[in-house]
Structure 1
Amino acid sequence: MKCNKLVIILFCTFYFYKANAQDFKLGNVSVEELQEKNHEMDSTAVAAILFEKGAVHFEYTQDDGFKMITQVTTRIKIYKKEGYEWANKAVSYYIGSNAKEILSFSDVATYNLINGKIEKTKLKSDGEFDEKVNKYWGRKKITLPNVKVGSVVEFKYVVRSSRFSELTEWSFQSSIPVNYSEFKTFIPEYFDYNPNIKGFVSPNITKEKSSKSLSYSYKPKVMPGDNLHTSTSQEKLEFVETRTVYIAENLPAMKEEAYVNNIANYTTSVSHELSVVKFPNQPYQTLSTDWPSVTKTIYDYEDFGPELNKTGYFEEDLKVVLAGLSSADEKILAIFNHVKASVKWNDYYGYSCDDGVKKAYKDKTGNVAEINLMLTAMLRHVGLTANPVLVSTRSNGIAFFPNRTAFNYVIAAVETPNGLVLLDATDPFSTPNILPLRALNWVGRLIRKDGTSIEVDLMPKASSNDVVIMNYEIDAKGEVSGRLKRQRTDYNAIIFRGNTKNIKEDTYLEKLENENDKIEISDYSRTNEKDLKLPILENFAFSGSNFSEIIGGSIYINPMLFFAVTQNPFKQEIRAYPVDYGFPFLDKYNITIKIPEGYKVESVPTPLLLNMEDNLGGFKFMINTLDNAIQLVLTHQINVPIVIADYYPMLKEFYQKMIEKQNEKIVLIKK
């Protein structure tokens, strides 16, 4: 997979941007900005960030100590109606029991050019919303008023926090162009942060130290027997502050490409993890700086490790579940299926329990941590070597650097003589070592009871198959009719079961017909839908008239019918990101075509065999002509879940040749 090489690539410098001394401020929108019809560097852009500035500094009071203040100001230009979503902004903030954050928006306005004059519309109270996401997080949203094509919108928000473990992650790039992006940090000497930069663009960085002081009012604490009329004095706190400025300019939009698991993994950004706290006259406090210390810290959390020790709520139920079972494999599967059947996932991510495993079991619903920590506890209870595995989901991004927020998910693992068995009971269709796609994101971190941890490769090694057996005949009008059998295994099966869950058969078949050149389907059946140990099978008859052309009495037909791929998914000339399939796969088609009475074969596509270097995958197209039939066997195989960008030119050429071969026609002529 060459993951190490990819990580190195992510930190290489592809561009260099010089710092711009221009001072960007809210409120000074220009006529030129409002008159601009398209973005200068990207005419397809629906909107653009004209500037975005972030700054983090610290304030101090006697009562509250240090507070971290994060301030963000943004100006955005709207070019097209599709860009209206950029006139909405949502920001999350922490509302947990300790260290609650305060978030406020200000200077929110929309600017339009009306009859040559700039018109400003301010945000009204009904355009701001506050919601509770869960017991830890709230979210404030604003919807800017009077937005039109050509508008410029501005806003500012400030977050006051006593949570210093990390600074806000600053993304210099976005899905729209960014003209100017700036991030400043003003860090007192009492805190050391490790900056981590990822992405393909290198921001310009300047750093300087200076002497600073903070003035605050000090009033001695009154002890019993003291004079109650103690005076308040003005105190001064002197320290050295490190000012760091990151600037990047003229950044292109981060556009989605085929088979990218999460574009944020490759977006240029900087994050800061607190490594040392060093207050005067106090011992240094060293925090998480490597994966072992990060995972030990998480394991010791009250809503993580201690939850694994609770067993009383399930012990009697497990006696029934395990009755008559002796082997480890039987016990693993029985407990796994019991948890899946007993507790439904409430769609909340996270590695911390909200209400605890006991309540989740009683209420039959819980978050990821409650379900999979419960599963781990049950497996341990019956003597199996089970441990939680911390995971960063595909939507959360790859965990490049050691920090406590790198993970947002947890699964269970059982150590067996044949290797780890990975389990996730949040998905009703998952099976041992077949995790939901959201969890297939490079590597996780297994934590043992003693606090030690090991890296766990989450990416599948075995191929998931999609095998089609199709027999059809062509009549003299070029119309086709036949039967099809389709078998899906492993990840192809879990995806199919998930996509068809709670969908009525009529609705599914109507969609299937429309997506496949308006075929007509009859005699449909589906087997092994609930038996997850077996491949899921589809069987149906079909007919259609959109697959052939009759020219001069000859019939031209694509032998693959509606299975032929017509467009290369890889359109970029150069690709900087890896191709992430999620899992290895084998697509195989065994097709038999009956020739109509009175016709013979004039030509068929020539056979083709393609093999990519380093055994990444291959394509085989074999075709034979019999007396009154044509037989075709086609396979398309990818042997690795992730193909690094170095192979992109080869992969693109491979797909182009494969698609061209799939779309070559059989020609039938009259005898």
Structure 2
Amino acid sequence: MSLNKSVLLLLLLSVCLQSNAQEFKLGKVSIAELQQKQHPKDTTAVAAILFEKGEVHFEFTQDNGFTMVTEVATRIKIYKKEGYDFSNQKVAYYIGGSTKENVSFTDAATYNLVDGKIEKTKLKSDGEFNEKVNRYWGQVKIALPNVKVGSVIEFKYTVKSSRYGSLQDWQFQNSIPVNYSEFKTYIPEYYSYKPSMKGFITPKVTEEKKQKTINYSYREPAEPGSAITTSSSQEKLEFQETKTTYVAENLPALKEEAFVNNINNYASSVSHELSVIKYPNRPYEYYSTDWAAVTKTIYDYDDFGPELNKTGYFEDDLKIVLAGLNTTDEKISALLNYVKNAVKWNDYTGYSCNDGVKKAYKDKTGNVAEINLMLTAMLRYAGLTANPVLVSTRSNGIALFPNRTAFNYVIAAVETPQGVVLLDATDKFAMPNVLPFRALNWVGRLIRKDGTSQEIDLMPKVASMDTIAMNYTVDANGQISGKLREQKTDHEALLFRKNADAVTADMYLEKLENEYKKIEISDYVRANEKELQLPVSETFAFKGANLCEIIGGKIYISPLLFFAKEQNPFKQEVREYPVDFGYPFLEKYAINITIPDGYEVETLPVAAILKMQDDLGAFKFMTNVSGNIIQIAMTHQINTPIISSEYYPMLKDYYQGMLAKQSEKIILKKI
């Protein structure tokens, strides 16, 4: 091959590669992107982020000082109708306090391929909405137009903020595949941020420093009361700027799996918390560098620690509540129930009081902080060692790294010789050491009056029980009728009470009949629904025509009837996330089956015992026949609320073995 031909071939190859390379710039959508029918590495994907680029930099003015500017540009490909949800985007911004933020969307458009040509449909004003979420937050929402299967959508948003205690968390992974994700930060030397990475995929990180110059107009402040306009001059601010770039490519979609508390806990991401401010000629200002600094800062907030010292508004009432009570347990139960009945939760989370504990007590409604800080103050008034515990709810994610935004909830704790008792008065069905499910999120931080803190395990230690006693009769036509009693304790009882409280009695029974294979329920009785210290129970009679099968004159019975689990919740071959059940539990079944006259047992499931290593759980299945009565005893217990991913293969096999045993039939034949 001649030299000229070689050069020409290399040039053509270069042009070809450039034409196939993705343009990481808005407005440069290609025909190839619009023609793509499915994601090349995930054919199940409903959409994919073709690229997402974020940048944080700082602008300076004389009046406002530094303003943090966050810009995010995104391009998304829609493969299936289920991906249409990604055409609706929203960005939250802070509106509480003196520091405000604003959000603006630009370059938002939908691209389609029409007759071989690219058609662009821009976002119009009627597709953008600005709304107030609560007193602290607003959000800007957009709905991109003309979205179809095959569309490519783009948008850019900008957030300007004087709140620079932390940068926007950057999540490289999403619920759909991400082809390219890039995040850049340009940080002036006056601010020092501590980056924290999480997830199973680590991006490539590069850093460089350079001198930065900002030109701005400076005007001398006018004398008070003076009408003279001061002159202005052009000034410049010179400082060193650190540019850090994070890049990750070809990230798989985050797949929802069974018993994952919050999938975003395991997404590849980076967060930045302000640690030091270093303004010239001023002392350094140190912020959250460790948990001790975080908790002390929070405790010293006006709407946190000082609220615990206010007692005058409840003292007279508590003299009546505490009269005649001597033991710690009596005082804890009485005060928890008193606050639950006196103040209702307004569904606002956060560890800061809104209007304060006194107003919440007067108005009989308040946010999480007002209710549980009030409870803490009352417990202290009663002579107990009580302190608040900062918590991150399951929806907020696990508090992995020291920062003030790690928490969004607060509960109360009482230290006793028998251990720490955790309390939450926002849920009317919660009890001592039985917290709402939203608060069962690994660990919290207990803060004492002196500002010291310690880690508190939020996960329950006592197994919640679900005990079922069922007696039923099978007739020669395969009809089944019987009676059932089910009793629940602790978190099982809390969840039952919440679900039952959310619907009418008729709706509840209709739902139960449908869930239990269309049985007919009669004589329904519920006990201890309001007596929280007692197990809640329900008793009813039932009958059903489709609970067993008759084949070739033989009757086939699934002994657990409608309680038999049919699918293994653990389907993945490999799992990277821990299995989070929320709390340990024990299921117990005692079943007596009366077989019809003229029949005998031909086949009976054999007894089985399955045990997981390290005492993580066990399954027992026992059978016995006495005359025309078949007795079944079954237990299934999980002894720890969280099982690490290293045990996943064993857990999956355990569940598969349990399901196989539950699916075995009792076969009756005519004598």
TM range (shorter): over 0.9
**Equivalent residue, structure 1, for 2:6:** none
SS of residue paired to 2:256: coil
Alignment of 1:570-585 (within 5 A): 570-585=570-585
Does structure 1 residue 261 correspond to structure 2 residue 261? yes
Range 356-365 or range 421-430, more displaced: 356-365
Cα distance change on mapping 1:224 and 1:355 into 2, 3 Å: closer
Alignment of 1:264-343 (within 5 A): 264-343=264-343
Alignment of 1:169-568 (within 5 A): 169-223=169-223, 228=228, 230-568=230-568
Offset of residue 429 of structure 1:
0.2
Code of the residue aligned with 1:183 in structure 2: it is F
Range 567-576 or range 412-421, more displaced: 412-421
Offset of residue 414 of structure 1:
1.1
SS of residue paired to 1:336: helix
Code of the residue aligned with 1:192 in structure 2: it is S
| Counterpart-to-counterpart distance in 2, 1:340 and 1:146 | 49
| Counterpart-to-counterpart distance in 2, 1:380 and 1:548 | 59
SS of residue paired to 1:395: helix
**Equivalent residue, structure 1, for 2:646:** 646
**Equivalent residue, structure 2, for 1:57:** 57
Q: Which runs of 5+ in 2 are unaligned?
A: 1-19
SS of residue paired to 1:476: coil
Offset of residue 231 of structure 1:
3.4
**Equivalent residue, structure 2, for 1:114:** 114
SS of residue paired to 1:323: coil
Q: Is the 8 A contact 1:177 1:251 kept in 2?
A: yes
Range 644-653 or range 183-192, more displaced: 183-192
Offset of residue 356 of structure 1:
1.1
**Equivalent residue, structure 2, for 1:16:** none
Code of the residue aligned with 1:459 in structure 2: it is M
**Equivalent residue, structure 2, for 1:24:** 24
SS of residue paired to 1:657: helix
TM-score, L = length of structure 1: 0.95
Q: Post-superposition, which runs of at least 4 consecutive aligned residues in structure 1 deviate over 6 A?
A: 224-227
Offset of residue 219 of structure 1:
2.2
**Equivalent residue, structure 2, for 1:14:** none
Offset of residue 59 of structure 1:
1.0
SS of residue paired to 1:405: helix
Q: Is the 8 A contact 1:169 1:272 kept in 2?
A: yes
Q: Is the 8 A contact 2:60 2:66 kept in 1?
A: yes
Q: Is the 8 A contact 1:294 1:404 kept in 2?
A: yes
Offset of residue 135 of structure 1:
2.0
Offset of residue 504 of structure 1:
1.4
| Counterpart-to-counterpart distance in 2, 1:222 and 1:372 | 49
| Counterpart-to-counterpart distance in 1, 2:504 and 2:278 | 62
Q: Is the 8 A contact 1:46 1:79 kept in 2?
A: yes
Q: Is the 8 A contact 1:299 1:451 kept in 2?
A: yes
| Counterpart-to-counterpart distance in 2, 1:24 and 1:265 | 28
Q: Is the 8 A contact 1:206 1:246 kept in 2?
A: yes
Q: Which runs of 5+ in 1 are unaligned?
A: 1-19
CA deviations on 1:547-595 (whole Å, 9 max, x unpaired) are: 2222221111111111111110000000000000000000011011111
| Counterpart-to-counterpart distance in 2, 1:179 and 1:274 | 30
Alignment of 1:628-639 (within 5 A): 628-639=628-639
Offset of residue 328 of structure 1:
2.2
| Counterpart-to-counterpart distance in 2, 1:472 and 1:227 | 94
SS of residue paired to 1:149: coil
Offset of residue 134 of structure 1:
2.1
| Counterpart-to-counterpart distance in 1, 2:265 and 2:327 | 42
Offset of residue 273 of structure 1:
0.6
Code of the residue aligned with 1:626 in structure 2: it is S
Range 580-589 or range 545-554, more displaced: 545-554
**Equivalent residue, structure 2, for 1:140:** 140
- Of structures 1 and 2, the one scoring higher in RCO (CA 8 A, sep 6+) is 1
**C-alpha RMSD of the superposition:** 1.5
Range 113-122 or range 65-74, more displaced: 113-122
Identity of aligned residues (%): 69
Offset of residue 502 of structure 1:
3.7
Q: Is the 8 A contact 2:222 2:229 kept in 1?
A: no
CA deviations on 1:342-400 (whole Å, 9 max, x unpaired) are: 11111111001111111111111111001101111111122221111000001111000
Offset of residue 21 of structure 1:
9.4
| Counterpart-to-counterpart distance in 2, 1:490 and 1:55 | 47
Range 280-289 or range 175-184, more displaced: 280-289
Offset of residue 224 of structure 1:
6.9
| Counterpart-to-counterpart distance in 1, 2:283 and 2:362 | 45
| Counterpart-to-counterpart distance in 2, 1:431 and 1:310 | 25
Offset of residue 311 of structure 1:
1.5
Offset of residue 22 of structure 1:
6.0
Cα distance change on mapping 1:225 and 1:595 into 2, 3 Å: closer
**Equivalent residue, structure 2, for 1:163:** 163
CA deviations on 1:156-197 (whole Å, 9 max, x unpaired) are: 110111111110000000111111111001111111111100
**Equivalent residue, structure 2, for 1:5:** none
CA deviations on 1:16-44 (whole Å, 9 max, x unpaired) are: xxxx9965111111122122221111111
Q: Is the 8 A contact 2:429 2:498 kept in 1?
A: yes
| Counterpart-to-counterpart distance in 1, 2:228 and 2:396 | 54
Q: Is the 8 A contact 2:556 2:666 kept in 1?
A: yes
| Counterpart-to-counterpart distance in 2, 1:321 and 1:283 | 50
Offset of residue 230 of structure 1:
4.7
Q: Is the 8 A contact 1:201 1:268 kept in 2?
A: yes
Does structure 1 residue 152 correspond to structure 2 residue 152? yes
Offset of residue 298 of structure 1:
0.4
**Equivalent residue, structure 2, for 1:662:** 662
SS of residue paired to 2:348: coil
| Counterpart-to-counterpart distance in 1, 2:225 and 2:514 | 86
Offset of residue 668 of structure 1:
0.8
Q: Is the 8 A contact 2:199 2:266 kept in 1?
A: yes
CA deviations on 1:415-442 (whole Å, 9 max, x unpaired) are: 1121111110000000011000000001
Number of residue pairs matched by the alignment = 652
| Counterpart-to-counterpart distance in 2, 1:221 and 1:344 | 50
| Counterpart-to-counterpart distance in 1, 2:372 and 2:590 | 41
Q: Is the 8 A contact 1:612 1:618 kept in 2?
A: yes
Offset of residue 226 of structure 1:
9.8
Q: Is the 8 A contact 2:390 2:444 kept in 1?
A: yes
Offset of residue 614 of structure 1:
0.2
Offset of residue 228 of structure 1:
4.6
Offset of residue 454 of structure 1:
0.9
Q: Is the 8 A contact 1:482 1:542 kept in 2?
A: yes
| Counterpart-to-counterpart distance in 1, 2:225 and 2:62 | 23
SS of residue paired to 2:175: coil
CA deviations on 1:96-154 (whole Å, 9 max, x unpaired) are: 22221121111111112222222211112121111122222111111111222221111
SS of residue paired to 1:429: coil
| Counterpart-to-counterpart distance in 2, 1:142 and 1:318 | 51
Q: Is the 8 A contact 2:23 2:29 kept in 1?
A: no
SS of residue paired to 2:631: strand
Q: Is the 8 A contact 1:135 1:354 kept in 2?
A: no
SS of residue paired to 2:622: strand
**Equivalent residue, structure 1, for 2:626:** 626
Cα distance change on mapping 1:95 and 1:263 into 2, 3 Å: same
CA deviations on 1:231-254 (whole Å, 9 max, x unpaired) are: 322222111111111111111110
| Counterpart-to-counterpart distance in 2, 1:532 and 1:211 | 65
TM-score, L = length of structure 2: 0.95
Q: Is the 8 A contact 1:411 1:424 kept in 2?
A: yes
Cα distance change on mapping 1:372 and 1:437 into 2, 3 Å: same
Range 121-130 or range 595-604, more displaced: 121-130
Does structure 1 residue 613 correspond to structure 2 residue 613? yes
